[in-house]
Structures are given as C-alpha cells and as structure tokens.
Structure 1
Amino acid sequence: MFKKFVSRMITGATVVTTACAAMATAPISVAAQEEGDTVRIGSLFELSGAVAAYGQTQSNAIKMAVEEINEAGGISGKQVEIVEFDTKSDDTEAAVLATRLASQENVSVIIGPATTSQMQAAIPIVNEFEVPLVSPSVTNTDIVFDDDGNVHPFAYRTSWPNSFQGAGIGKFAYENLNAEKTVVIYDNSSDYGVGLYDNFQENYEGEIVSVETVQPSDSDFSAIVTNLMAQEFDSIVILAFYQTAGPLVKQIREMGFEQPIVGSNGFGNDIIYELALPENMNDVYYASLYPILEDDEFVQKYQEKFNSDPDMFAALAYDTVYIVKQAIEQAGSTDPIAVNEALENLGSFEGITGSFIYDENHNPTKNVVSMIEIQGAEETGVHEVVFD
C-alpha cells in the first residue's frame, strides 16, 4: 500500500543475472560483452524465503541503478554486469553463494545481503577471498567487527547501525511522544531484535514497565496482549521485522489498545499493512533510513519500471551501486583489493539518501533518524531525530 510519504528507489540494469540453487547454479543469462570489457558486480540477496520482501526491492533498485549507469556510458567506459544469486533467506545458502561470487564469478564487489544473519554468513568468505561486500540495509551494530573487536577488512554497510537507530527510537518516544512509560516487545531470536532492544533501553530516558519477546514463527500474541492489560504505559515499542510486527499490531489494536506504537525500520515494507490490516495502522511510527514524498522522481521511476512501490531499503541499494561506481573510478581498477582500498578512502559520497563518508569502522556517518508517522493507514508525516 503506497502512502503519502514513502521510501525511495531508482532505475535498473544491463544485467547478467544468475540463478542459484542449494549449490550455485549456472547463470540465467549472460551479457554479450567480451571478458574484460565489463565491470562485474555481485548481487547477493534474499529473493525468496522468509524475508524476500526486503531482498526483492533492493535487487530491483540495483538493476535500475546499473541500467542508468550503463545508459550514461558505464563505469570508466565499461558496461556493468550484475551477477545475481538468491540466498533463499538461508544462511548456509548465503555462504555457498558468497563463495561462488568471490572465488569464481570474477566480481569486483558484492552488494548485499539484506539481513544480519545472511551478512554474517558471507563475511568470512569475502575476507578470505578479499572481495569487498557492501550491505545496503544491515543495521546490526557489531556486524562490521570480528570477535576480537577488529574491523572486518572487506565488510561495509550503507545503513546506519542499530546503536544509532535504537537511540533514535528511544529519543523519539520520550521527547516527541512524551512517553514516560513504555512497554517493549522485541524479537529475541535475531541479532537484529536483541541488538535494537539493548540500544533502546540504554538510551530511553523513561521507564520500561514491561518487556515481552516474540519470534518470527509466532502468530498468536494473546498472552502478550493479556499481559499488557495489567500495565500502565504511554507507548508500545515493537522491535521486529514486518512479518512479526504486522500480526502483532493487528492483535494489539483489536484488543482496544490505542497508545502510540513505535516500530523499528523492520516496519518499512508495505506488506505490514496487509498483515496488520489498514484499519489498525493508526498512530503508528517507525524508523526510516530514507523517507520521501510520494511525487519524488525516484519513486515514480521505480513504479513505472516495476509496477510496485519501493521501500527505504531500495533507496539504500540504489545508492550502494553509486558508491561502488565511485570507488571503482577512484581506484582506476576493477581489482577487488583496489576497490576495497578505495572504499576505505572514499571521501564524501553524495547520494539520494544523503551525504556521508565511511568512518574507520566502515559505517556511514549519518546523524538523523527519520520517524514516519502513520494515521488512518496513511503515512502523513516525517519526524527527524537529530544527533550532534
């Protein structure tokens, strides 16, 4: 369901798309350029399975960006090929396909995956084969560090980390909604949910009166809703992906709770409206990495091409392609090690999601968390939480 305010995205690719199976399979189609005449970029996303909604929009955005680049002459005069694999939302598959991309497909860089566990599966592979990996959407704070606290040399992201998102959600609930007491419901089966909860509770200045946990396989939240009846609170914070958050919002609203619901960026896919039902999407707020107006050129291009609406992660994926382009041009080479060095020293990047540089931890330097307001199943406003 497309709203007044949405997240954005852009145009796609002269593509070399490859399919994947439990073991990597042969390409679906291969562009006609001779070896050496193209820049090969790996695309590793969850195109099917539990979190496919995140991967599909990012894959689309990558194709759109590459198409634009190729129409403008390519990267350093070379056309760009996308070598795409579907992880099927499976961590083992992600590791297998990352190995294929890094060791066999002659790619300069890999873009993806969309989620924390998939990226965690791919990082050891790209470190071993020395091919940079850039995830547009993974927010887990510690994803860029190894067990000893050292930065993974070949892992990057385009989104802000959970430490920033969690702090923004806490600040918004307390300061903007005047929520002095809140309940928190989070997904304790994922690093995403656990990390967000830890960061939220460290930064929320009010009182957390109750904490409940959920898992993606849950569908009946009656026990949680019953527990809420015994509490006094000013807001409900939900830190989970859309497939869990949607049914949870539905059951909370259907039991008569009218307090504001504050969600993480996991709310940022239109499927949540189908799961929660539009009549329950009222006085809901969620963190967004890139909110924009409906009439934005980027959104219109995406709608024209795919006959569907983009989400915030699509915009980040689009920008990620242009980050890669800038790095390859700066490196003057398609060699993965040279591209990695250029990423580390990228300097300022100007994209549709804003301007930033990579810090020493391979995180983008961003200082704003945007909170999207939903009233009557319409995205009616954007509230910016700004940090110094």
Structure 2
Amino acid sequence: MGPATSGATAAAAPNANDAAVPLVTPSGTQDNLTYSKGKVQDYIFRTTFQDSFQGKIIAKYATDNLKAKKVALYYDKSSDYAQGIADAFKKAYKGKITVEDTFQAKDQDFQAALTKFKNKNFDAIVIPGYYTETGLITKQARDMGLTQPILGPDGFNDEKYVEGAGAANTNNVHYVSGYSTKVALTNKAEKFLKDYKAKYGEEPNMFAALAYDSVYMIADAAKDAKTSKDIATSLAKLKNFKGVTGKMTIDKKHNPVKSAVMVGLKDGKEDTATAVEAK
C-alpha cells in the first residue's frame, strides 16, 4: 500500500510493475499513474479519484448546486495537477467562462488578474491550484469585494489554506474532497469515524480514510490468492466494494468509479458536505 502522493507513486511504479507486485496508492491523483501512453499499468491501482475527475465534479457542482451559469477561471499554469483539473473543467462545464487567467506557484500578488475579474459578470470563481497560492487569492479576492462562491480542488484541503485566506474570508468556499465526516457514503463510515476518534482523539481526515479503504481493498483482493499476480487480477475486477469513502468499482484503467464530496467552509471550518457523482 502506498505511496500517498502522485510523484512518489510515479517513481515507485516501474519497480512494482517489473516485480509484478500490485501497488495501491490511497491518494495519488495524477491521471497517468494507472494509464499511460495508451497502456494500462498492470500492477498500479488507486483508491482516490484522478485529477481530471475533480474538474468534472467542480463543473457539476457549479451547475447543479450553485446554479452558476457563468464563471471566472483562474488556475496555476505551472502545475500539471491544476492544468489537468482546469482542462477537465472546461470540457465538462456547460455554462460560460466569462474570464480566464493563470498564475504560477510562489506568486503572491494576484491583484492585476482579480481587478480584471471584478469588471466582469460571473456567478462563481473556479481556482484549480494548491492551498499555498489559493489561500492568498481568496484573501485578496475578498478584500477587493469579490463575494462570489469560490470553487477549488482537493488542493484546498489543508489548514494552511485557511491561514492564508483568513477564516472570515472562507465563507462560500467549496472544494473537492475524497472524504468528509459530515456525510456517510456507506454504512461503514459511521463506525470508522467512531472507532478512529476513540483511538486517536480526533476526527479522521481524507488521507486516513483513503488509506483505511486501501488496506481492505487489498485484503478483499487477497482472498484465495496464491501470488501477487492473483491479487492484481482480483483488484482489477473489484466491483461494488463498500469502503468508508464510498462504494467503488475499479474501471478498465484501474481507477475507482465512486462519488466525491464537495466540502463547504464557514469561518474556516467545514460546514457542509455534499456527495457529487460525475460520470
């Protein structure tokens, strides 16, 4: 089981494939980890959704839940992660992108782009990127009087996002997550939450929940298996597996077909969680 990040998974994948030992990454989201250059990576699987899926989730939530017919799109052009989400969003979103601009990692002043946005008409701002920059963007946007909902990927899912934005500026911010303690996607979720809090004295985060599901996916696939190849074959056929992060079926590209959660913040704390399916 593991690694947890996309970069580390990509580095470990060649050895796992050469050794014919299945690798399950709980939280590596990069699209080409399990399917690259037209070929399925036979021994690489994941428990979380892929980056491009997040773009679809954000598009669906913007349309169905926020009724946003027009959006501003502002993304990190230096990140494959953010670029992939932005591209998927543009393909999936049926409304109008009124204005589009980019930033890059380590930028700190976003005033010029946000000033351009302020003069446009839109219902929400979509910001694919990581918390380091998106927290500052949120603060500067709110300071300039941009009150529209802000939508982002799981790159927002860190306390440092709130630190950068300021708790009061996070109202009406929504981001993708693979798990939330506020919504039970299967009947296993409530017991997991109770047991985790009893053992560790705190609520589980997305990474803990995804790692937990990874263990039991592997255990399920290992039943009656005699070799590592047998486990990989069973993982590829996994269907309707009930985990704490939802019910999932592994598709032909070794990605789970499952729901995602859109988390809504209020004063820096998780306030709402909505299950969203995007096919």
Q: TM-score, normalised by structure 2?
A: 0.88
Alignment RMSD = 2.3
Q: Which residue of 2 aligns with 1:326?
A: 220
4+ runs deviating over 6 angstroms: none
Mapped partners of 2:179, 2:195: distance in 1: 16
Q: Is the counterpart of residue 278 in structure 1 residue 174 in structure 2?
A: no
Runs of at least 5 residues in structure 2 that lack an aligned partner in the other structure: 184-188
Alpha-carbon distance in 2 for matches of 1:314, 1:223: 39
Match of 2:238 among 335, 346, 352: 346
CA offsets 1:259-284 (integer angstroms, 9 cap, x no match):
10011122222332222211111011
Does 2:4 correspond to 1:113?
yes
Tell me, in whole angstroms, the C-alpha distance in 2 between the residues paired with 1:199 and 1:243: 22
CA distance in 2, matches of 1:348, 1:374: 31
Q: 2:263 aligns with which of 360, 372, 381?
A: 372
Does 347-356 or 294-303 show the bigger shift?
Answer: 294-303
CA contact (8 A) 1:186 1:212 kept: yes
| Aligned equivalents of 1:205, 1:345: Cα separation in 2 | 33
State the aligned residue count: 274
- 1:315 is displaced (CA, Å) by 0.9
User: Equivalent residue of 1:292, what SS?
Assistant: coil
Per-residue Cα deviation, 1:174-201 (whole angstroms, up to 9, x for no partner): 2321222111122222221111111100
Contact 1:268 1:311 in 2 (8 A): no
Q: Which residue identity does 1:369 align to in structure 2? A: A
1:226 deviates by 2.5
- The whole-number CA distance in structure 2 between the counterparts of 1:230 and 1:118 is 42
Look up the SS of the partner of 1:111 in the other structure.
Answer: coil
Give the deviation of 1:374 after TM superposition: 1.8
1:131 to 2:21 alignment: yes
| Separation in structure 1 between the aligned mates of residue 129 and residue 147 of structure 2, nearest angstrom | 20
Q: Distance in 1 between matches of 2:137 and 2:11?
A: 29
State the structure with more CA Rg: 1
Corresponding letter in the other structure for 2:19? F
Give a deviation string over 1:109-168, Cα, whole Å, max 9, x none. Answer: x42232x33322222222122221111122233331122x11011111111223332112
Structure 2: distance between partners of 1:176 and 1:296: 25
1:235 offset after TM fit, Å? Answer: 0.7
Given residue 96 of structure 2, which amino acid in structure 1 is its aligned partner? E
Corresponding residue number in structure 2 for 1:381: 272
| Residue of structure 1 equivalent to 2:249 | 357
SS of residue paired to 1:374: strand
In the alignment, what sits opposite 1:102? none
The aligned counterpart of 1:145 is 35
Preserved contact between residue 188 and residue 213 of structure 1 (Cα < 8 Å): yes
The separation in 2 between residues aligned to 1:348 and 1:134, in whole angstroms, is 17
Cα pair 2:60 2:278 within 8 Å, conserved: no
Per-residue CA deviation, residues 66-116 of structure 1 (Å, 9 max, x unaligned), is xxxxxxxxxxxxxxxxxxxxxxxxxxxxxxxxxxxxxxxxxxxx42232x3
Distance 1:362 1:214, change over 3 A: same
Q: What is the alpha-carbon distance in structure 2 between the residues aligned to residue 187 and residue 131 of structure 1?
A: 35
Residues 182 and 273, structure 2, Cα contact 8 Å, conserved in 1: no
Helix, strand or coil: the match of 2:255? coil
Instruction: For 1:122 and 1:232, locate their aligned partners in 2 and report how far apart those are by CA, in whole Å.
Output: 46
Structure 1, gaps ≥5 residues long: 1-109
Change (3 A) 1:364 1:330: farther
Residue in 2 aligned with 1:154? 43
Residue 304 (structure 1) shift? 5.0
Query: 198, 205, 212: which is aligned to 1:311?
Result: 205
Residue 133 (structure 2) aligns with:
244
Identity of aligned residues (%): 37
Q: Is the 8 A contact 1:358 1:364 kept in 2?
A: yes
**Offset from partner CA, 1:23-65 (integer Å, 9 cap, x none):** xxxxxxxxxxxxxxxxxxxxxxxxxxxxxxxxxxxxxxxxxxx
Supply the AA of the counterpart residue of 1:292. Answer: T
